[in-house]
Amino acid sequence: MSIVSSRSRLALDTTVVASSQQVSCDVADEAVLLSMHDGEYYGLNEVAATIWKLVQQPRTVLEIRDALLDEYTDIHADECQSAVLEFLGEMISLQMVVLI
């Protein structure tokens, strides 16, 4: 499944949550994930780690975007939404985030 196809399935009202197919570890403000799907390690930067914390419980894409806009006031809403969709699309393709 490509990132683009995962992303295309996402809308602002889509609810997502972290899957059980991973283990994760906080590293200061960042995080590292180990995917059970492909056995690879993935480093998350601060913004991605913030999204990762948010999806530990079911959230809509809109809720995630708005939470980021509250935390990072210097990000433009469109830019933020695009980044959220891109990250979630990638996480879905890696089976570390699922749609519910």
Partner 1 sequence: MGASIVPSPMSFLAAPARLPTAYEGAPIHSYAAFGGLLRSEIEFPELTGVADGGSANWTVAIEQRDPSWEGFLPIGERRIREEQYRLWRCDTGLRLEYSHAGTFDLSGDGSRIVWYHRADALPELVRSIIIGPVIALALELGGFLCLHGSAVTVDSRAIAFLGPKHFGKSTLATALTAAGAKLLGDDLLVVRPGPPAVVCPGVASVRLWADMAAALPLDSVCNTLIPGVKTTATGFAEAALAEKPAIIDAIYMLSPLARGTDGPAVRRTRLSRTEATVALAHQTKLPDSLVGFRAAGSQLASAAAVAASVPVWRLHTMRDVDRLGAIVRQLIDWTCQE
Give the residues lining the site for partner 1 (CB under 8 A). 23, 25-28, 30-32, 34, 36, 39, 41-45
CB atoms within 10 A of CB 75: 15
Give the nearest distance from C-beta 32 to partner 1 in angstroms: 5
DSSP string, 4-43: HHHHHT--TT-EEEE-SSEEEEEETTEEEEEETTT--EEE
CB of 50 to partner 1, least distance (A): 14
Q: Which is nearer to partner 1, 42 or 87 (CB)?
A: 42
Please state the closest distance from residue 49 (CB atom) to partner 1, in A: 9
Three-state DSSP at 97 gives strand
Report, in Å, the least distance between residue 79 CB and partner 1: 23
Could you count the other beta carbons within 10 Å of the beta carbon of residue 87?
Answer: 21
- Residue 65 makes CB contacts below 8 A (sequence gap 6+) with 12, 77, 80, 81, 84
Which of residues 44 and 68 has its CB atom nearest to partner 1 in the complex? 44
Q: Which is nearer to partner 1, 62 or 98 (CB)?
A: 98
Choose between 44 and 64: whose C-beta lies nearer to partner 1: 44
